[in-house]
Structure 1
């Protein structure tokens, strides 16, 4: 039985029950509360009129049956129409679901009318479709960019090998050095992709971590790079306990510090790394000097392989997944990532994570 038929039968049954109760109440009222003088029927006897309460059932029953038959027809027809109108929004939602299951994520229900339960369901479904469409588009762009980035070192490696095979006078040592550099970049990119996938799946063990210690470790690791770039790195902050993966959070911190060192003013740049807890939230802030940036440009920095409209091609810029990995790790730990251009130039990146106290029961 369809939902519409079930609703129709329910409406009809309720209407018949109400009719039976109403007629029963009328019958009791006639038997108990109506005086005999009101039940006089004209007759042909010489005494003119006489009470006929015993014949009341014969008069009332056919009319009551006719009323119940009318209520039955009214309930079936009216209930069917009423159920159809009530379930019409559900039919639109069902059609949209079928389209989405067939791969069409651009369709929206946009249910009109006042805000009720069906309207809320339709709006929630539209929101879900919009997020799914954005996610699929993002994954497609990511796959295309990853394929391009992986294809580039493979093509270069193939070209170097072909040159070495066809040109015996070519400097083999130089070719091997270039081949080593290209393969190293390909390995780094592959490892970054694996790390990104691991963070997205959230397949990691959580344990207590101090972000301040991770910031110090990342700074010490990248100190030679900062000295080579002429960039000063300052680290300060209190104990910042969180609950998460030490390896992933260290990768997050390292990527932020590395990004701040590379995209800086060479020879006179500064990087400040601060940690702390504010109102139950662990905060990690990394800011660096640099050129003035627009909010529109900054909004593209977390896009994989992208910096605005240009691909990353600097010597120390990595594979273009640094901030994308930071974004994924932050989301996997239930936090938020905020990128803000500094008025004097450069960028301020803030990571907010739930402090360890909020996970004390985990």
Structure 2
């Protein structure tokens, strides 16, 4: 599942705030430790120099206060006279030492004039306790900052994404058609205005394209109907002369039937091209009669197809309320596809509310099978260039007709043993 842009932006903002908080805490911690080092390296060493000067002038007196202790051990005297924390130190010495609950900063130096050892110890327990308190406070501040950062990241991400969500909703609510509402371009950010304007230009081009397509369909409708009307009139003239033999009249009937089929198919194709449903042509039909008539037309038109189609029907009285021309076109294209891809027989089975058309050829290409079995029906809006040609025009019509009728198309089998199409019929009486 793809992540949300809002969540990604919120995570990024929170990460930046957390990184800034952590960096600030580290800087404060380093500063606190630097204060200790400053006391140890500067203050106590300055004190050591002061007391060293007093020793040279003979004015030195040992000091022990609440925070500071200074002792001088002349050379040759035993270290037992020193407090335990001064003993056995390799001079020069400078370090923080913990004695029970007390923390001392100790500095020890070897003097030559006068000869001996000078020790200084400063009690920094209060500072250490304060440091622990400061660290606890810093942890609390860090937690509070992270909480604030989380809230700011969530609200900030929502604020930044708000115009993008608005733009997305407007785009999703746009319905393709000959007249589409333009989306608003009153955004504060220039980038969103550019996207909205670009999408509006695309909508304008799409409207022009749809308008041109409708004009073409109207023109094609006129151009296709005109020659059919001429052919129909010519057939009527031939029939009125009554000069044809019985065989010629039979041939004439076949021509008229083929012409009527062509007229119906033309209307169906134009209807499919317009993507409009015409309820006036809907009526109740016996499915077996439509299938059998379609088979008869195929066998009369192509003598080599005669005897190759076998029909099995356990529901001879199945009636369906639908478009007869669409059903006829559906069955004919399925049978033509099956007859074209195999020289063996083709089986048509009508079982309950299903129509099965099976051949025994080499099967369909994988790409065609995947395309016809997809949830979304193939159309000019969701197909790649050249994809229709790979699925053959007949199978494309099959899928479009099933979509229009509301029937389900299933490829039950497609391998080296043959192909079987299953049509799940609805709206049966």
Q: Choose between structure 1 and 2 for higher RCO, CA contacts under 8 A separated by at least 6 residues.
A: 1
- TM-score w.r.t. the length of structure 2 is 0.35
TM-score, structure 1 length as denominator?
0.41
